[in-house]
Amino acid sequence: MNIPTYAVVSLGGVTVGLSLLGWELVQWWPGRKQAVKFKHLVRLVPFLLTWFYGMLLILSAGGALGVVADWSLWGTSEIGDAVLKYGVGGTTQNVTRGSNLVLTPGGHAVVVISTVLFIGVWVKRRGFNWSLLRAILSGVSLGLSSGIAGMAGWVLSPVVSTIGDLIPGLR
């Protein structure tokens, strides 16, 4: 069953995604001298993995996870558009990547495995974690962006698809 999605990111959505990413980096930043130490860099790993997971969700072709990611993208785009229009008097436009990156069947398998791992982490923590939600929303908002903000999604799609295809021997 393939549920169609309408994945269009606006300048407002990218603004929200970059704002959430910036929020996390400001919360993480320990200071100039401490930032290069390994133990402080390790604190970013859960956020980055979940951020990449959010990008994988929006790169999914459809299904239930694709619909949830699509709704999240729509919500962040609408909120960001409203802030740009009514908050600062600016305008907004569509900034979706022109070429569509679609995951292969192996890439979709990696998304399912990542979802199981994410749920396992969420259950183990036994509580709502705003950092993980910010990471997913930021990844979803930036995954389809056509500019520098979307470069991670542009690189992530072929890498995940290749890994997902090579492990079970689909290629």
- The per-residue pLDDT for range 101-129, each reduced to its tens digit, is 778 888 888 889 999 988 888 787 777 77
More confident residue, 65 or 5: 65
41 vs 20: CA distance, rounded Å: 18
114 vs 117: CA distance, rounded Å: 5
More confident residue, 59 or 171: 59
Quick one: pLDDT at residue 1? 46
CB-count exposure of residue 46 (10 Å: 0-12, 13-18, 19+): middle
49 vs 161: CA distance, rounded Å: 16
More confident residue, 9 or 31: 9
Quick one: pLDDT at residue 168? 79
24-78: pLDDT as tens digits? 988 887 776 666 677 777 888 888 899 999 988 888 867 888 888 889 999 999 9
b/e code 81-92 from CB counts within 10 Å (16+ = b): bebbeeeeeeeb
Q: At what angle do helices 130-142 and 11-28 cross, to 10 degrees?
A: 140
b/e code 65-80 from CB counts within 10 Å (16+ = b): bbebbbebbbebbebb
Average pLDDT over residues 135-145: 89
pTM: 0.85
Amino acid found at 151: M
CA angle, corner 72, sides to 51 and 122, nearest 5? 50
Write the CB contacts of 93 (distance below 8 Å, at least 6 apart in sequence): 10, 11
- pLDDT classification of 132: cutoffs 50, 70, 90: confident
